Structure 1
Amino acid sequence: MEFDLASITGRSPLVEYPWRNEIDRLLNWLQDKEPSVKAFCFDVVMSAAYIDATSGIEKSIEGCENTPSRFNSHLGFINLCSPCYTSKGVWSYQKAVKPQSGALGKLSSEVILRFIEKLSTQLNDVIAVGGTEAADAVLYHQDGTAILAEVKSAPLLTYPFLFSAPNSCLQGEHEKLVITNSQLRECDSGMYFHNVGVINLGKVGSPLWPFKPIVDFLTQENNEHFIKECVQEWTAARTAYTIKDRTNKMYYLANACGSPPKIAKDRDGWPRKESISDSKTSAGLDRTDDIKKGIYQSIKIGTSIKNSPDIKTAIVSNLPAYRHGDDYVSPFINMLWGLGEDLVELNGYNAIIEKDLRRVFDFIITLEQPVLRNTIL
């Protein structure tokens, strides 16, 4: 079966979201930045996208006495209250909020595709496909190559939101607020960067909240030191996540950290069967089911395009498989495969000529440590 590239239809990444221009402003600023800064900013954008796409957030905000003084309540995307943990060492359980899985997958895919499109100088176009098509996306390179991509992405760190709610709405420490959506829209807000500090985001109901104030802050030159500290903290979390270093405080703020230590249950009343963040939230390409599916999809596509040298395959993510790469990705990076029907007799041996062989995947396109095989994106 031959692959019909012309039959694939899709859309420009994030075209359906009113805040896309804010992301583009950020990506223009990121053009000359280090990979770790780009990866950190992906996590910031995803945290903003989570709260934007989650309905009824006012029902999940809880009072917190450990927030910085101008705030009094917290909403996060892991089950651990970061202000309690980072400022007091207290393991306060607060159920995470996130969009429904369908919306979440679409969001994370389109955000990373927009990052790749705007940060890659050699790509002419990127189309988000999704649905039941053979590929999640098509990337068109300036050299005429079309790259069919499977997209799997997820943040390493998420950044919670803080609010300054009316005292009349507070019900006690880590009790849910009694607040209406219209009341919340009048509240001041901030994004909490764990051990570094808070970005003030203004009123919840302000235009393009929270994207515009976040991008305004990140792109202002006088905030460079704050951002540098955030990136250093992010890289510390990446290291702790990769090697599962539970002695590093940042480990428990990263996705896929599992359950808290025993003291959380014994001293702070952490619910017995609850984790902070389970393996389904593994960062980047690190969820093993995603790796397996990505490799399968690349091979499946390859069976249809083996006679089309200008069509390549890729797996796209924000981060490589830092935990599981050695076991699940590295064995396939230099592997070639072919079809039995292409066997020919060569000097007394059955062999497949190189032009009839394909790679398991041609590229792994990520913000850090991509596999590009001498191709410039």
Structure 2
Amino acid sequence: MGENQESIWANQILDKAQLVMPETHEQNLADTLIDLCYNAAKRTNVPVGIALAASFDLLVGAEYYRNVINRGWCYCPEHQSLIFPYTNTCPACVLSGKFHFHRSNKPESGKIGTATSRLLCVFLDRLFVKSSRNFKIFKGSEPIDILIHDEQKNIMLLAEVKAAPLITLPLLVRSEEKITDLVDGEIVEIPHSAVDNSSLSSSNICLLLPVFHDGSWQSKFVELQTKDDILTNTIWAYGQLENIFRGNNDLFDLYLDTWKRAFEAYQVAYHEKDRSSNIFWLTNACGQPEPRPVDWPARSGTGYESVSDGKTSVGMDRTDDIKKGIYQVLKLGAESKPINQQYQIKTALISNIHAARHYDEYLTSLQDVVWALDETGLAKKAGELDSETPIYNLFDGIISFTRNHPRDEWIRENFQF
């Protein structure tokens, strides 16, 4: 391919891409959270990457909270509260090991992918700004998820993105009175039930923050100070989360401790088959309850409902996503690296959290693979190729906040978490 054709290829990639421009509310919350992460890393022994992964979940939570509506609330008689959960169980009760089924309010998987991919770009953009890296991030067109352009060094990173939160804090409204029903002529408090929050616009909405204290999990209610326009102002949660966390190291430390324990429980449940930590049941892809209550509902087909199924796997941990991501990165490299000399092309998998359950099974054997083109189809050893044959990394990087595997100096330098 001639130089002109190479220029055409590169220009077409950029022409089709859309520059990611953070909205003001996204930018403000991301900046606040990132500052808290770096402060926490200085004050504690928590790696900044773990803090960033935890903070990203709060950013995603703000996006999920845009869709809070009157319906979908769970009345919890034990805590006399209405709760808007993001796994299929009452989150306040599951912290003490009690499972009460209630349908999750998590968005559909397609919407999750779109939202998390964009917000990960926003988060990376603000991290680059903080570190004075003048990179541009673009949403690409198939097969490119995102494109990161370092104009100064003439580098283009083409990446496949797989992102999903570990945990989304439920919303909660304290009920002024117990919710009752008339049964056989007697007034009784209703059990765990699906209810409408008819006074949502005037409700004092809180975050339900699990806190580990004296060997057990407790619920801390953090007021969001919402306003009457909650149903029309769909970005309300961004500002409220920014307000309650800005400069509040104590609150952030509590949240960070919870997130770290949840992340550990998520990994231990898979690798050591230990689901004894109650916070595990608020993580995505936690599976069916254990032990399963006798009244736990069956699925419409076979088996039983899960608390959270594998379609909501954390970060890049969904096996279908890992396999697709591997292929996409190979395809990106094969279609760009050999033909292009106008830019230095890098290829990577990017996520908020590495494949914490499936990394060894799917990625360890591939993370250091290199490849070359052999038009003869006869070469068995590298020495049988022409001495000038280029060799390319399958992955220039497998990038996440929680674990990085860079095989490229530019990626190593610019994605240190």
> Which TM-score band applies after superposition, normalised by the shorter structure?
0.7 to 0.9
Query: Rg bigger for which structure?
Result: 2
Give the residue type in structure 2 aligned to 1:160. P
Q: 1:126 to 1:92 in 2, by over 3 A?
A: farther
Query: How big is each residue's C-alpha offset from its partner over 1:233-271, in whole Å with a ceiling of 9 and x where there is no partner?
Result: 221221221131212222222111110013x423xx222
- Partner Cα distance (1:352, 1:275) in 2: 55
- Partner Cα distance (2:196, 2:381) in 1: 80
Q: Give the structure 2 partner of residue 95 of structure 1.
A: 103
Equivalent pair of 1:190/1:201 in contact (CA under 8 Å): yes
Note if 1:27 corresponds to 2:64: no
Structure 1 residue 365, shift from structure 2 partner: 2.1
- Partner Cα distance (2:243, 2:369) in 1: 45
Equivalent pair of 2:109/2:312 in contact (CA under 8 Å): no
Query: How big is each residue's C-alpha offset from its partner over 1:286-310, in whole Å with a ceiling of 9 and x where there is no partner?
Result: 1111111111111111112223360
Note if 1:176 corresponds to 2:205: no
- Structure 1: tracts of 5 or more residues without a match: none
Give the residue type in structure 1 aligned to 2:211. N
Q: Give the structure 2 partner of residue 230 of structure 1.
A: 255
Calculate the TM-score normalised by the size of structure 1: 0.86
- Partner Cα distance (1:276, 1:346) in 2: 50
Equivalent pair of 2:94/2:278 in contact (CA under 8 Å): no
Identity of aligned residues (%): 28
Query: How big is each residue's C-alpha offset from its partner over 1:48-68, in whole Å with a ceiling of 9 and x where there is no partner?
Result: 21121x3x621101211344x
Q: 1:352 to 1:97 in 2, by over 3 A?
A: farther
Note if 1:289 corresponds to 2:320: yes
Structure 1 residue 136, shift from structure 2 partner: 0.7
Equivalent pair of 1:160/1:192 in contact (CA under 8 Å): yes
Structure 1 residue 165, shift from structure 2 partner: 5.3
Give the residue type in structure 2 aligned to 1:116. L
Q: 1:214 to 1:348 in 2, by over 3 A?
A: closer
- Partner Cα distance (2:192, 2:388) in 1: 63
Q: Give the structure 2 partner of residue 193 of structure 1.
A: 209
Moved more, 355-364 or 335-344: 335-344
1:154 is paired with a residue whose SS is coil
- Partner Cα distance (2:319, 2:113) in 1: 16
Equivalent pair of 1:170/1:178 in contact (CA under 8 Å): no
Kindly report which structure 2 residues correspond to 1:7-156, keeping only aligned pairs within 5 A, or say none.
Answer: 7-12=15-20, 14-15=22-23, 19-31=26-38, 33=41, 34-52=48-66, 54=67, 57-67=69-79, 72-86=81-95, 88-120=96-128, 121=131, 123-129=133-139, 132-141=141-150, 142-156=152-166
Query: How big is each residue's C-alpha offset from its partner over 1:4-34, in whole Å with a ceiling of 9 and x where there is no partner?
Result: 333332131544x854433333334445542
Moved more, 167-176 or 102-111: 167-176
- Partner Cα distance (1:347, 1:125) in 2: 39
Equivalent pair of 1:344/1:352 in contact (CA under 8 Å): no
1:147 is paired with a residue whose SS is strand
Q: 1:353 to 1:235 in 2, by over 3 A?
A: farther
Equivalent pair of 1:152/1:285 in contact (CA under 8 Å): yes
Work out which of the residue numbers 346, 350, 370 in structure 2 matches 1:336. Answer: 370
- Partner Cα distance (1:260, 1:129) in 2: 38
Q: 1:96 to 1:210 in 2, by over 3 A?
A: same
1:150 is paired with a residue whose SS is strand
Work out which of the residue numbers 249, 265, 286 in structure 2 matches 1:257. Answer: 286
Give the residue type in structure 1 aligned to 2:123. F
Query: How big is each residue's C-alpha offset from its partner over 1:64-122, in whole Å with a ceiling of 9 and x where there is no partner?
Result: 1344xxx7200111112111122x43211111012233332111101111112212336
Please tell me the root mean square deviation across aligned C-alpha atoms, in Å: 2.9
Number of aligned residue pairs: give it. 362
Q: 1:370 to 1:27 in 2, by over 3 A?
A: same
Moved more, 23-32 or 165-174: 165-174
Equivalent pair of 2:29/2:59 in contact (CA under 8 Å): no
Give the residue type in structure 1 aligned to 2:413. I
- Partner Cα distance (2:287, 2:388) in 1: 45
- Partner Cα distance (1:327, 1:170) in 2: 51
Query: How big is each residue's C-alpha offset from its partner over 1:303-332, in whole Å with a ceiling of 9 and x where there is no partner?
Result: 122233601111110011111001111111
Calculate the TM-score normalised by the size of structure 2: 0.78
Give the residue type in structure 2 aligned to 1:274. E
Q: 1:342 to 1:249 in 2, by over 3 A?
A: farther
Equivalent pair of 1:30/1:38 in contact (CA under 8 Å): yes
Structure 1 residue 167, shift from structure 2 partner: 4.9
Give the residue type in structure 2 aligned to 1:211. Y
- Partner Cα distance (2:324, 2:108) in 1: 21
Moved more, 240-249 or 322-331: 240-249
Equivalent pair of 1:51/1:98 in contact (CA under 8 Å): no
- Partner Cα distance (1:348, 1:39) in 2: 40
Equivalent pair of 1:63/1:170 in contact (CA under 8 Å): no
- Partner Cα distance (1:251, 1:114) in 2: 28
Give the residue type in structure 2 aligned to 1:371. H
- Partner Cα distance (1:44, 1:170) in 2: 34
Q: Give the structure 2 partner of residue 163 of structure 1.
A: 173
Note if 1:326 corresponds to 2:374: no
1:191 is paired with a residue whose SS is strand
Query: How big is each residue's C-alpha offset from its partner over 1:115-149, in whole Å with a ceiling of 9 and x where there is no partner?
Result: 1221233642343425x522111112353311011
- Partner Cα distance (1:8, 1:238) in 2: 37
1:203 is paired with a residue whose SS is coil
Q: Give the structure 1 partner of residue 351 of structure 2.
A: 317
